[in-house]
Structure 1
Amino acid sequence: MWIGWLEFDVLLGDVRSLKEKRSVVRPIVAELRRRFAVSAAETGAAELHRRAGIGVSMVAGDRAHVVEVLDAAERLVAARPEIELLSARRGLVHSDD
Protein backbone atom coordinates (compact mmCIF):
# COMPACT_ATOMS: atom_id res chain seq x y z
CA MET A 1 0.00 0.00 0.00
CA TRP A 2 1.26 3.48 -0.92
CA ILE A 3 0.41 6.57 1.11
CA GLY A 4 0.94 10.00 -0.42
CA TRP A 5 0.32 13.54 0.77
CA LEU A 6 0.74 17.14 -0.26
CA GLU A 7 0.96 20.23 1.92
CA PHE A 8 0.22 23.50 0.14
CA ASP A 9 1.09 26.94 1.47
CA VAL A 10 -1.03 29.46 -0.40
CA LEU A 11 -1.36 33.23 -0.42
CA LEU A 12 -4.90 34.46 -0.91
CA GLY A 13 -5.71 37.46 -3.05
CA ASP A 14 -7.87 40.36 -1.89
CA VAL A 15 -9.15 38.77 1.31
CA ARG A 16 -9.89 40.98 4.29
CA SER A 17 -11.46 38.61 6.81
CA LEU A 18 -11.50 34.99 7.93
CA LYS A 19 -15.01 34.69 6.49
CA GLU A 20 -13.73 35.73 3.04
CA LYS A 21 -10.82 33.33 3.48
CA ARG A 22 -13.23 30.44 4.04
CA SER A 23 -15.16 31.42 0.91
CA VAL A 24 -11.95 31.00 -1.12
CA VAL A 25 -10.47 27.92 0.57
CA ARG A 26 -13.61 25.77 0.94
CA PRO A 27 -14.33 25.51 -2.81
CA ILE A 28 -10.72 24.49 -3.48
CA VAL A 29 -10.86 21.76 -0.83
CA ALA A 30 -14.24 20.57 -2.14
CA GLU A 31 -12.97 20.43 -5.73
CA LEU A 32 -9.88 18.44 -4.71
CA ARG A 33 -12.09 15.91 -2.90
CA ARG A 34 -14.60 15.66 -5.75
CA ARG A 35 -12.21 15.47 -8.70
CA PHE A 36 -9.56 13.20 -7.23
CA ALA A 37 -11.29 11.19 -4.46
CA VAL A 38 -8.68 12.30 -1.90
CA SER A 39 -8.85 13.49 1.65
CA ALA A 40 -8.37 17.26 1.74
CA ALA A 41 -8.66 19.92 4.43
CA GLU A 42 -7.48 23.35 5.47
CA THR A 43 -4.54 22.47 7.69
CA GLY A 44 -2.59 25.57 8.56
CA ALA A 45 -2.49 29.33 9.12
CA ALA A 46 -6.02 29.24 10.53
CA GLU A 47 -5.62 32.58 12.30
CA LEU A 48 -4.22 34.44 9.26
CA HIS A 49 -6.70 35.77 6.75
CA ARG A 50 -4.37 36.00 3.70
CA ARG A 51 -2.53 32.68 4.11
CA ALA A 52 -3.79 29.12 4.14
CA GLY A 53 -2.42 25.65 4.44
CA ILE A 54 -4.20 22.93 2.50
CA GLY A 55 -3.44 19.25 3.02
CA VAL A 56 -4.23 16.42 0.60
CA SER A 57 -3.70 12.71 1.20
CA MET A 58 -4.50 9.43 -0.49
CA VAL A 59 -3.86 5.72 -0.32
CA ALA A 60 -3.54 3.35 -3.29
CA GLY A 61 -2.03 0.02 -4.18
CA ASP A 62 0.11 1.45 -6.99
CA ARG A 63 2.86 4.06 -6.53
CA ALA A 64 2.39 5.44 -10.04
CA HIS A 65 -1.29 6.11 -9.38
CA VAL A 66 -0.52 8.04 -6.18
CA VAL A 67 2.09 10.16 -7.98
CA GLU A 68 -0.28 10.82 -10.90
CA VAL A 69 -3.13 11.97 -8.65
CA LEU A 70 -0.89 14.15 -6.47
CA ASP A 71 0.63 15.76 -9.57
CA ALA A 72 -2.85 16.54 -10.90
CA ALA A 73 -3.94 17.97 -7.53
CA GLU A 74 -0.87 20.21 -7.44
CA ARG A 75 -1.58 21.46 -10.96
CA LEU A 76 -5.18 22.23 -10.00
CA VAL A 77 -4.15 24.31 -6.98
CA ALA A 78 -1.38 26.09 -8.90
CA ALA A 79 -3.82 27.04 -11.68
CA ARG A 80 -6.36 28.72 -9.38
CA PRO A 81 -6.34 32.44 -10.26
CA GLU A 82 -7.58 33.64 -6.86
CA ILE A 83 -4.57 32.25 -4.97
CA GLU A 84 -0.80 32.11 -5.31
CA LEU A 85 0.86 28.79 -4.55
CA LEU A 86 3.89 29.62 -2.39
CA SER A 87 5.07 26.06 -1.80
CA ALA A 88 4.06 22.44 -2.08
CA ARG A 89 5.63 19.74 0.06
CA ARG A 90 5.12 16.11 -0.86
CA GLY A 91 5.51 12.81 0.92
CA LEU A 92 5.23 9.28 -0.38
CA VAL A 93 5.75 6.13 1.67
CA HIS A 94 5.11 2.43 1.27
CA SER A 95 3.35 0.67 4.13
CA ASP A 96 6.36 -1.63 4.59
CA ASP A 97 8.71 1.33 5.25
Structure 2
Amino acid sequence: MVKILAVLAALSTAVVPVAADNCTRGLYYCGWLLLQIGGYFPQIDDAFHNAGLATSRDHVNRGLFYCLGGDNGDIRFVTLCDAVCRDADGGNIFC
Protein backbone atom coordinates (compact mmCIF):
# COMPACT_ATOMS: atom_id res chain seq x y z
CA MET A 1 0.00 0.00 0.00
CA VAL A 2 2.80 2.41 0.89
CA LYS A 3 4.51 1.68 -2.44
CA ILE A 4 1.29 2.42 -4.35
CA LEU A 5 0.86 5.75 -2.57
CA ALA A 6 4.50 6.65 -3.19
CA VAL A 7 4.13 5.85 -6.89
CA LEU A 8 0.90 7.86 -7.16
CA ALA A 9 2.46 10.80 -5.33
CA ALA A 10 5.48 10.75 -7.64
CA LEU A 11 3.22 10.41 -10.67
CA SER A 12 1.07 13.34 -9.62
CA THR A 13 4.09 15.62 -9.40
CA ALA A 14 5.71 14.31 -12.58
CA VAL A 15 2.63 14.69 -14.78
CA VAL A 16 2.35 18.46 -14.54
CA PRO A 17 5.43 20.60 -15.11
CA VAL A 18 3.48 23.86 -14.64
CA ALA A 19 1.90 25.49 -11.59
CA ALA A 20 -1.21 23.93 -10.13
CA ASP A 21 -4.58 25.30 -11.16
CA ASN A 22 -8.08 24.87 -9.74
CA CYS A 23 -11.06 23.03 -11.15
CA THR A 24 -14.07 25.02 -12.34
CA ARG A 25 -16.99 25.09 -9.91
CA GLY A 26 -19.97 23.03 -11.01
CA LEU A 27 -18.09 20.80 -13.46
CA TYR A 28 -17.30 17.09 -13.22
CA TYR A 29 -13.72 15.81 -13.50
CA CYS A 30 -12.01 12.46 -13.84
CA GLY A 31 -9.38 11.79 -11.19
CA TRP A 32 -6.64 11.48 -13.82
CA LEU A 33 -7.65 14.88 -15.21
CA LEU A 34 -7.43 16.49 -11.77
CA LEU A 35 -3.87 15.16 -11.52
CA GLN A 36 -3.08 16.81 -14.86
CA ILE A 37 -4.51 20.11 -13.60
CA GLY A 38 -2.08 19.71 -10.73
CA GLY A 39 -1.96 19.65 -6.95
CA TYR A 40 -5.03 17.44 -6.52
CA PHE A 41 -3.49 14.24 -5.17
CA PRO A 42 -4.10 15.13 -1.49
CA GLN A 43 -7.75 16.03 -2.18
CA ILE A 44 -8.30 12.88 -4.26
CA ASP A 45 -6.72 10.78 -1.50
CA ASP A 46 -8.96 12.44 1.13
CA ALA A 47 -12.07 12.01 -1.03
CA PHE A 48 -11.39 8.28 -1.48
CA HIS A 49 -10.66 7.90 2.24
CA ASN A 50 -13.94 9.66 3.14
CA ALA A 51 -15.80 7.32 0.75
CA GLY A 52 -14.18 4.25 2.34
CA LEU A 53 -12.11 3.48 -0.76
CA ALA A 54 -8.41 2.82 -1.13
CA THR A 55 -6.37 5.23 -3.23
CA SER A 56 -4.99 3.33 -6.20
CA ARG A 57 -4.06 4.08 -9.79
CA ASP A 58 -7.18 2.18 -10.92
CA HIS A 59 -9.44 4.21 -8.63
CA VAL A 60 -7.87 7.49 -9.79
CA ASN A 61 -8.40 6.50 -13.44
CA ARG A 62 -12.02 5.46 -12.82
CA GLY A 63 -12.90 8.12 -10.24
CA LEU A 64 -15.47 10.81 -11.07
CA PHE A 65 -15.40 14.00 -8.98
CA TYR A 66 -17.54 17.13 -8.73
CA CYS A 67 -15.82 20.51 -8.35
CA LEU A 68 -17.21 22.46 -5.40
CA GLY A 69 -14.89 25.38 -6.19
CA GLY A 70 -13.56 27.84 -3.67
CA ASP A 71 -10.02 29.11 -3.16
CA ASN A 72 -8.60 25.58 -3.15
CA GLY A 73 -10.79 24.13 -5.91
CA ASP A 74 -12.45 21.71 -3.50
CA ILE A 75 -13.79 18.46 -4.95
CA ARG A 76 -16.30 15.79 -3.92
CA PHE A 77 -16.07 12.14 -4.94
CA VAL A 78 -19.12 11.05 -6.99
CA THR A 79 -18.54 7.48 -8.17
CA LEU A 80 -16.16 4.95 -9.64
CA CYS A 81 -16.84 4.37 -13.32
CA ASP A 82 -17.24 0.72 -14.39
CA ALA A 83 -14.41 1.17 -16.90
CA VAL A 84 -12.38 4.35 -17.38
CA CYS A 85 -13.61 7.87 -16.71
CA ARG A 86 -13.47 9.75 -20.02
CA ASP A 87 -13.18 13.35 -21.17
CA ALA A 88 -14.77 13.73 -24.62
CA ASP A 89 -13.35 17.09 -25.73
CA GLY A 90 -14.93 20.25 -24.45
CA GLY A 91 -15.22 19.06 -20.86
CA ASN A 92 -17.89 16.42 -21.48
CA ILE A 93 -16.90 14.00 -18.71
CA PHE A 94 -18.58 10.61 -18.59
CA CYS A 95 -18.14 7.02 -17.44
- Tell me which of the two structures has the higher relative contact order, counting C-alpha pairs closer than 8 angstroms and 6 or more residues apart: 1
Q: Same fold by TM (over 0.5)?
A: no
Structure 1 length-normalised TM? 0.29
Structure number with higher strand proportion: 1
Q: Rg bigger for which structure?
A: 1
